[in-house]
Structure 1
Amino acid sequence: MTSKQRIRLALALTTASTFGLALLSPVAQATSPGTRPECPRTLDCEWAPAAYQQTGDPADKETYGNYDTADRPHTAKIKYIVLHDTEETFDKTLQIFQDPHSQTSAHYVVRSGDGHVAQMVKDKGIAWQAGNWYINQQSIGIEQEGVATEGSKWFTPAMYRSTAALVRYLAAKYDIPLDRQHIIGHDNVPPTSTSGTAAMHWDPGPYWDWDYFMKLVGRPTVPSAPPSSQLVTISPVFKENIQKFRDCEKNLDLPAQASSAVPLHTGPSTGSPLFSDPALHTDGKPGTNCAADWGSKISASQQAVVAGRAPGWTAIWWYGQKAWFQSPAHTRTTTPTSGYVVRPKAGRTDVPVYGVAYPDKGEYPADFTAGRLGTPLKYTIKQGQAYPGGGEAPTGYYYAPTIDASYPYDHTYFPGATRYVTVQIGHRVAFVKASDVDIVRIR
């Protein structure tokens, strides 16, 4: 299920000033039950609005659910699409999103059996879905009926087709790149700070067939560079990539089954420990085969930069270190790929990595004291390393603490001048300042 955490802000501002920023009226954003869903005509799609109403004392205008009104893309751009699974039935998910006390929502929900779609938040609104406010304000969230540990039971051809059609439509409408730094799972969303890493979600999980899905959206994995390319796309054959993971939350071994995930080790041997995400395993212990432990696995359709090779094994740069996976000869574990990578500028030894692309302190109005700032995550990009990415990440922060814009600057988007780019630092995407890195084309 999507994150149930609603980031609250408390602010006492004495004055409002004209800063050339959009101030939006929630009333103007209201939509009626008869609103036409924003779907391609080929989809069976309904409008089932999520709750947007006061939930507590009317005097406490910060207590409301389940999304924020906005005027995207005229304010914040829409540059990411986040895929989830519901961990509930379709009907129950709609009930949750229509309960204003649930503090969670998504723009769309896709039904498993027939691919039927319910739109619950208008695209211009900001759904509370990703567990990262920056990603929320720049993305559209799509929930898919299912349970991550039971993927093959829920992820039907009808669901894949409907979600793919919806993603194609939205990507074309909002100029979203059809790559895995912009079409992401909830498991690819970065934390906003190191301390929040353990709370991040891992849906749609290791049994979502990413390779098949990206083929449906029109971006199949095909060779686009010589076999010696340092940039590769992970591309195991889903039906042949049988993996056995563990549901550590339920203390349950999951049956061996087809998966998009490829385990990562610390050395070119199955006897070497699994890779450990340094922000997730702060005790320094090895990674695990838990389905939720995404630091120890890479997914099909994700790209990586080769850091070394050994017989039957390939090393990639991963969260600032080398990680190894099996790549036996004459198997399709990777596909040579042309594309862009980021690497530290000359003289930079450690480039900070962020989970948000917020404005710097000096880019907010002088009388606005509630502006969010980005803090570096635990990961850094070291000299000699490179990671896929380079696409510009919109810099900005949308401030919307109340339901009716009762604070100065409420429902306002603050753009920033500092330029950030997206990077695939590990399983989760992240952001680096463009001034810290070179963007290089690999052919």
Structure 2
Amino acid sequence: MILEEFGGARGIALWRQLRSILSWVRADGPNERRSLTSLERTRARRRLLEPLEGPLPASLLEALLHLPPGPAARPPSEIADACEAVAAWAEEQCGLHTALEYRQAAALLEPDSAPRALAMFASARALAQFSRAEAWFHRVVGLSRRSSDWQVYIEAYLAHGTMVLRMGRLDQARRSFLKALRRSRREGLHLQAGISLQRLLVADYRDGREDRGDERGAQVLERLEDEPSHLRELAEELAFAWLDHGDHAPAARLLDGLTERRIRPGRSGITGSLARARATLGDREGFRDARLRLERLPDDLELASAWLDVAWGAVLLGDDDAMEDALARACTVARHRWYGWIRRGAESVRRARTGELPAPELPAPAPARTERRMELARRILDALEGDSGPERKMGRVSSGPVPPPTRRPGPGSDPHSRAPCG
């Protein structure tokens, strides 16, 4: 996959350097390892890495040149740091499989490091390599428990719960979230406890326990009121859940607030969901405004599904031109990202428009429940009102172990897919 993601001399250099690192890790005895660090081998690697001098920092290239042991060798931890830096750079270039392989090399170089194993677990999960991710998850749990690294332990269970929830394994997801919550409380980690509750409310809504989910939403707000980045995640989770259960007014209020107050202006998923919510409410002008806003947003991993949401909204409004335009945009992005499920979703949209596929019907929400949710939405947006951090201008900034929102896929979508950027 490295040669597919990075062609020419650059791809060859990355592939051969990775092979050299793995050869050292798997070498039998000091003599074989010493042969990999000879002066002649080092000079050959330097020539090999010349194509990377532009895109990679000189210090990173220098670290990759020297494999331990040897008089000029770096310790394994430094080589692992270099591998992680290559992985981060590869991700920026949309080389997610390259990043995965270099993260695995880093984890093998430091086999007792729970954070290295956690990073590898995350990379495998992002590429939907679930068997591989599951194996690394169990490794993370063992290493973090042995070293009492409870932060990593909790992050692993939160991420695992999110992964299996997307696979439809609701009971297993709930167990993982509860393990994270109990450990957070035991160690006095209040922020992590709030995030664990946030994950659990997603499982509650997915299981049809709407009142329980609303209760958890209020609890999370109380715990995370001073954590704006996590409140944004809560707002998204609640909006998506309420949309899924047919309560569009409070969902639209949250999504409007996130976009109009420029709290999450660059998230295509938010804008696509807002378009669908406005269409469901019969608000043609609001639907049109959201659709035009989506046209101006830069590409991201949610863009194809966002346009699919717009297409569903157009079906609800009977706007065939908007539907076809949105489907064309969604499928164009899907072709670049291997999103086969988007094309299947597009077919479902067309079948719904012609009446071959009945549109899903949800019971009308109880007025008291909608009123309670409108109040919760107001409180969340009020808590976010004073935030002026960098995320408002630049997009999401990570500030802890928050997995991405676990939105229930729309009709015709595949919750298991996440493909590299195009």
Query: TM (normalized to structure 2)?
Result: 0.30
Question: Which structure is richer in relative contact order (CA contacts within 8 A, separation 6 or more)?
Answer: 1
More helix by share: 2
Query: TM (normalized to structure 1)?
Result: 0.29
